[in-house]
Structure 1
Amino acid sequence: MMLTYPKFKAATVHAAPVFLNRDATTDKVCSLIGEAARNGADLIVLPEAFIPAFPVWAAVWAPIYNHAMFRKMAANSVLANGAQMQRIAQEARKHGIFVSIGISEINPVSVGGLWNSNMLISDEGEVLNHHRKLVPTYFEKLVWAPGDGAGLKVCDTRLGKIGALICGENTNPLARYSLMAQGEQVHISSWPPIWPTEKPNPWASNYDIAAAVRIRAGAHSFEAKAFGIVSSGFMDQAMRDYLVDMDDTVAEILDNTPRSVSMFIAPNGKQIGQSLQDEEGILYGDIDIADCVEPKQFHDVVGYYNRFDIFSLTVNRTRHVPISFSPLALEDHSDADLAGQAPLDELAL
């Protein structure tokens, strides 16, 4: 039987959330889904931690000043199977479009436990993959807990084989290889709007996240021979003013830190079409999975261009849970099942 290669239109979002407002941001997500679908997209990709926002405050203030921001972040984070995600899934099914979205996920058994997660939802409204960022990067550790390997999956869909990593995970060769080795053809990477590392001054070079994104996205597409879909957040005036109103000394940092970028990458590592950096919008790209074939002749790192007798990789995809009960314990304490919560395996999707 001859292989067939899907062709489809994808949409990548470069936008700001309604800052730290999960319900209003969910409204915006649903609006963006509808817009992308009306423009013929079969897949829409939204930025890292889009609901409710990326915690840039953890970079600009010491931890002792961030308790109120953390409480607000936790209050506006979402359950992986909560009302906001159910609404987005319904919107995906309504429009017949796949949706990839970054969320700040709240732990169902901890009011202050958060993960940086990415959800891939099918065009029928089913959750295909639920990935928690393996290692929060630098100041992100003050907000999010480490994830696990359960979401290191490539999903075989009518659009092709889709995988996703969050922000700095795209620097991790083993995480990237684990997706390549599952036949990844479309790689989604999601990013924050800015990533401050230095106060602006003539002697220090602040982290140029746009340059870093281009390097990593291009490298992965070139190595995997896969399409890259890059979606970064955007810091709008409302987000900037919210933070500056709390402390006007951060204005210089926020105004002079390089902005991130959204774009498409071909399997040869080259950018497709235009990019978005300094304004909100949706980019569209045409993807033909057949374009992944020819580059595999040159170096196929999960095929002939490897030495499996020398190198090996084992990935633990066990979902982490805080407690497990023996059958006897469950029987003895059936009335105390986490205060009426659903079983953890259901909550973790």
Structure 2
Amino acid sequence: MSKLPVTKVAAAHVAPVYMNKSATVQKALAIIDEAAKNGAELVVFPESFIPGFPVWAALWAPIYNHEWFKIMVENSVLINGPEICAIRAAAKRHGIFISLGFSEATEVSVGCIWNSNIMIGDDGEILNHHRKLVPTFYEKMVWAAGDGKGLQVVDTRIGKIGALICGENTNPLAKYALAAQGEQIHISAWPAIWPTRKPGVHNFNNLEANRIRASSHCFEAKVFGIISAGFMDQTMIDCLSKDADQDALEVILNTPRAATQFITPTGEVIGDTLQNEEGIAYATFDLNACIEPKQYHDIVGYYNRYDVFDLAITRKRDVPARFVDDISQAKIGCTEFDQKLISDE
């Protein structure tokens, strides 16, 4: 059996240029360049890096967020648009793999957007395109539900890579779907803050919750993990604070900040950890370290009971409609009798 890859990975613990897709893409390109120069073979960006996470949905009731939503839609990007094309070109130019979180627009609606993540190969090709299955809590007022098409693990020269977005890492079936494909590197993408209450009133602890969820998957699936969290800089704070009352300002300033870090297949933290400062975190993954822990618990191998548990996963892209425009397509799905009637016509 040949040795598994050893690879240096990078996670961008950085803020977007908030709600500005063009400027954020330029920042991403500079980060990709720096990570590649430092020897990283994979660079990961946080949830909704382009154009930023809609924290405003947590701060005010929906009736006050129409203008924010319009700005978010305007700065969401098409999967085949110039912003993604620029990131793909950088991947090819540097020969580096890229995982990117972004708010995705669609050509069939001016108001439908998704919380999406793409994995780009070192040749610039899109290896996987995932839309978050279920927007979490107040995110439902911003993003549409995704589908199972993106529950894919991509087999690359640096290992088998999978990714889930934020709260999806709380879904044991979504995590198992990736583990069952031989995942070796798991990317979990998170926002800088995720407020649920005023600080001091038993708020959701973003820092601990992210670490627990990511570490549990690494331990259960015996994979390396990248916890890729966003960063909230002063520009983002200023944007959110301009119309904030005292309660909202307290939430913005005092909600726990997420951290970016790396996890081993036994759940330990390795490499750099970044929380309160912006930068690029690095770690080295030796995938051979995934083997020994599998001897203890291999949940997609001998440590399972397929006669007891039976899981089916539908991986298809949701579309608003299927159009049949000619008679050859109309035959698809017909009975033999129906097809004879069509051909007789």
Superposition TM-score, scaled by structure 1 size: 0.92
Partner amino acid, structure 2, of 1:271: V
The residue matched to 1:182 in structure 2 has which SS?
coil
CA-CA distance at 1:24 after TM superposition: 0.2
CA distance in 2, matches of 1:273, 1:325: 51
For residues 10-159 of structure 1, the aligned pairs below 5 Å read: 10-159=9-158
For residues 245-264 of structure 1, the aligned pairs below 5 Å read: 245-249=242-246, 250-264=248-262
The residue matched to 2:226 in structure 1 has which SS?
strand
CA distance in 1, matches of 2:51, 2:308: 44
CA-CA distance at 1:234 after TM superposition: 0.8
Question: 2:336 aligns to what?
Answer: none
Partner amino acid, structure 2, of 1:239: M
Partner amino acid, structure 1, of 2:187: I
Question: 1:221 aligns to what?
Answer: 218
CA distance in 2, matches of 1:42, 1:67: 40
2:227 pairs with 201, 225, 230, which one? Answer: 230
CA-CA distance at 1:171 after TM superposition: 0.3
CA-CA distance at 1:134 after TM superposition: 0.1
Runs (4 or more) in structure 1 with deviation over 6 Å come to none
CA-CA distance at 1:247 after TM superposition: 2.1
Contact 2:272 2:282 (8 Å CA) reproduced? no
The residue matched to 1:20 in structure 2 has which SS?
coil
- The RMSD of aligned alpha carbons is 1.3
Question: 1:341 aligns to what?
Answer: none
Contact 2:272 2:283 (8 Å CA) reproduced? no
Aligned pair count reads 329
CA-CA distance at 1:115 after TM superposition: 0.3
Partner amino acid, structure 2, of 1:214: R
The residue matched to 1:259 in structure 2 has which SS?
coil
CA distance in 1, matches of 2:35, 2:94: 9
1:268-291 deviations in whole A, cap 9, x for unaligned? 111113311111111110011111
Partner amino acid, structure 2, of 1:216: R
- Are 1:160 and 2:198 matched, yes or no? no
1:211-230 deviations in whole A, cap 9, x for unaligned? 00110111000001000011
Partner amino acid, structure 2, of 1:324: R
Unaligned 5+ runs, structure 1: 332-349
CA distance in 2, matches of 1:285, 1:205: 33
For residues 161-310 of structure 1, the aligned pairs below 5 Å read: 161-201=160-200, 204-249=201-246, 250-310=248-308
Unaligned 5+ runs, structure 2: 330-345
Partner amino acid, structure 2, of 1:74: V
CA-CA distance at 1:152 after TM superposition: 0.1
